[in-house]
Amino acid sequence: MPLLVALALSGLGRDALKVAGGLGLACLISLAFAVSSLTPFTGAAAPGQAVVGAHLDEIPPGQLAVMQQAGASCGLPWQILAAVAKVESDFGRNMATSSAGAIGYGQFEPGTWTTYGHGGNPYDYHDTLPAMARYLCASGAPGDMRAALFAYNHAQWYVDQVLAVAIRYGYGQSSAPTNRVVELARSQIGMPYVWGASDPRVGFDCSGLVEWVYAQVGVALPRTAQAQYDATLRLSQAQLQPGDLVFFANTYPSAEPITHVGIYLGNGLMVNAANPTDGVGQMPVFTGYWAAHYAGGGRVRT
């Protein structure tokens, strides 16, 4: 023991202790990095990633009632309010002021809160959820949900994240399957066109969007526009209803005549993943370019 004490007090011993201390610090830093790297898998969300842990029964019941009432005031699905609340403050569990100065339950900028808060308390969900609904509806919701969410937080990853969480809460799952199809299709407006993709985290091509939307309501469709045409019931233009499919021929060179598909919204409009320039958008079916290639309507057999 005296020998060990002497060694520790010697220069050699002190150097050894420094090395050991440095190694210990390096291990702690590595551990911290490993923990932070795992946060996307434990429920936290990085920009552009869905909140993995989102599930319906995590919404506080008292807040849910206010969300439903606030959303009904302007036709906004309550699931959108719930998703914004989840992403912004985790239902009030983290209301720290952001680096940009955003405050409270809904992370409003003070000037925006002055306009939409109606004199309420930004840290109280009773006041904040109605303000969130007012702001989103003034920004285009529920008609253009992506534009409204982009106005709330100017980042495409944020829009994607909120919609992904809202879908986990049941967004788009109304009583009528065709209504759910239309809502889900509209929720993807603004997404990029990616050839071969059928994933809201990445983008869509035309048939990939159709396949994904119908998969959300429990209907499996083939992957390509031609195969979807072959799998659906033929409809005249007069028979088309919202949620039906509209098909187009020879929009690019192909061995198959049907090369494009969209989801009919009614009033001569569709949502489709058009091309790399236009992405997913709402467009007329029976005028302009698409009218020249229109090949007929189809109804999905459910």
Q: What is the CATH number of the domain that holds 252?
A: 3.90.1720.10
The strand ranges marked E within the chain are 198-199, 203-204, 233-235, 245-249, 258-266, 269-273, 280-284, 294-299
Largest CA distance in the chain: 99
CA angle at 34 for the pair 15 and 53, rounded to the nearest 5°: 155
Residue 84 near residue 132 (C-beta atoms within 8 A): yes
- DSSP of 187-226, one letter per residue? HTTTPPB-TT-EETTTEE-HHHHHHHHHHHTT----SSHH
Give yes or no: residues 214 and 144 share one domain. Answer: no
Burial (CB count within 10 angstroms: exposed 0-12, middle 13-18, buried 19+), residue 45: buried
What pLDDT does 288 receive?
A: 96
Query: What percent of the residues of the chain are helix, what percent strand, and what percent coil, each to the nearest 5?
Result: 50, 15, 40
Residue 15's contacts (CB-CB under 8 Å, 6 or more residues apart) are none
Instruction: Tell me the one-letter amino acid at 111.
Output: G
Distance (Å, whole) CA 283 – CA 290: 9
Q: Which two tokens stand for residue 75?
A: 């036709």
- 185 within domain boundaries: no
Q: How many domains does the chain have?
A: 2
Distance (Å, whole) CA 252 – CA 177: 32
User: Would you give the distance in Å from CA 133 to the centre of its chain?
Assistant: 17
Give yes or no: residues 196 and 282 share one domain. Answer: yes
What pLDDT does 173 receive?
A: 57
Q: What is the pTM of this model?
A: 0.49
DSSP-assigned letter for residue 108 = B
Give yes or no: residues 114 and 152 share one domain. Answer: yes
Residue 214 near residue 205 (C-beta atoms within 8 A): no
- 203 within domain boundaries: yes
Residue in this structure with the two tokens 């306009």, named with its chain if needed:
115
Give yes or no: residues 195 and 282 share one domain. Answer: yes
- 81 within domain boundaries: yes
- 6 within domain boundaries: no
Where residue 112 sits, what CATH number does that domain have?
1.10.530.10
Give yes or no: residues 70 and 126 share one domain. Answer: yes
Residues 42-46: contacts with CB under 8 Å, at least 24 apart: 45/87, 45/161
**What are the pLDDT tens digits along the chain (302 aa)?**
444 434 444 444 444 434 444 444 443 333 333 333 333 322 334 444 445 467 888 999 999 999 988 988 887 889 999 999 999 999 999 999 999 999 999 999 999 999 999 999 999 999 999 999 999 999 988 878 899 999 999 998 999 889 888 888 877 654 456 678 888 898 899 999 999 999 998 999 999 999 999 998 889 999 999 999 999 999 999 889 889 999 999 999 999 999 999 999 998 999 999 999 999 999 999 999 999 999 999 999 76
User: Which residues form the domain of 282?
Assistant: 190-299
CA angle at 72 for the pair 68 and 78, rounded to the nearest 5°: 40
Q: Which two tokens stand for residue 51?
A: 């909140």
User: Would you give the distance in Å from CA 28 to the centre of its chain?
Assistant: 35
Q: Which two tokens stand for residue 185?
A: 């299709």
Q: Residue 159: how many CB atoms within 10 A of its CB?
A: 22
Among 172, 156, 5, 164, which Cα is nearest to 83's?
A: 164
